[in-house]
Amino acid sequence: MRAFVTGGTGFVGANVVRSLLQSGYDVKALVRPSSPLNNLQNLEVEIVKGDLNDPELPRLMQGCQVLFHVAAHYSLWQADKEALYRCNVLGTRNILAAARSSGIDRVVYTSSVAAIGVGKDGIPVDETYQSPPEKLIGDYKKSKYYAEREARAAIELGQDIVIVNPSTPIGPWDIKPTPTGEIIVRFLTHKMPAYVNTGLNFIDVRDVARGHILALEKGKTGDRYILGNQNLTLKSLLDRLSQITGIPAPETRVPAWLPVAVAWVDETLLARLGKTPSVPFDGARMSSQLMYYDASKAVRELDLPQSDINIALQDAVAWFQANFVDVPKIHLGD
């Protein structure tokens, strides 16, 4: 079986590519001409250059039976609004249309729990929950919601698509890094003196990758599957990092309104004066929520693995140490 993969140079995509190769699939990866290929080096992958709006997509997909549409533009900066909708919404529409015209048999579309929204007072929600789009914080979440709508419209046309909604992955190959990876890097470089009372659902990125293949092989057409594992507060995550690295975890908790206020000034006012903002306003607003999810459907129907989050953290730390020059080399505890 030959799989066409978008977003293979990114964090989740690079792990999906590795999982596909380990499972015996041939892989053709769509890569933008400007994308670095570090995450695909030394892999038996056919690389084709193009983007989600390339009119040549149907031709590039020839010879593939399945599509993993993992690519997305991730940004919490308000200045990136246009790029978010162009890539995430229009790009999804285009790649799914190309898959139809090229005869792709089945698609796994990588959405996000961001498209689902959050429950009241931190109550974990499952695939049946949906926040109204106007309640989703920021254009990234809204763009993923409308991108999922594109997938559902394609399903209505008869296309065989399974939707997966990863929560917050942790592990190796977080090259950008993601916001969670950035938290780990800041912790390792002693740049996190305080924390906010937020919470996330975490999962080993390799379980997310495996979940994509399980969705292809076992998922029901039109269904969404949350690929998640453990709900943890940010403080609990930092405490685990402390146990792994020996670096003291921050003990000072700042009120939720403080980073929101700082980010608003940073991105709204100071950016107009030519200063590069350091904290996205939408990211600060999100940190005031407990973003908890229930992944039991994927565990039950797909046999989604639930690997130890501590191992994912330890492997993420080791990867950042090996690949980020600013991260000090420290002995990792057991």
Residues annotated as catalytic are 140
Q: How far apart are CA 144 and CA 112, in angstroms?
A: 7
Longest Cα–Cα distance in the chain: 56
Asked whether 166 and 12 are in contact (CB, 8 A), the reply is: yes
Q: Tell me how crowded residue 269 is: count the other CB atoms within 10 A of its CB.
A: 11
What 3-state DSSP class applies to 197?
A: coil
Q: Tell me how crowded residue 84 is: count the other CB atoms within 10 A of its CB.
A: 25
Half-sphere CA count of 69, side-chain side, radius 13 A: 34
Q: How far apart are CA 9 and CA 31, in angstroms?
A: 7
Asked whether 160 and 106 are in contact (CB, 8 A), the reply is: yes
Q: How far apart are CA 147 and CA 151, in angstroms?
A: 7
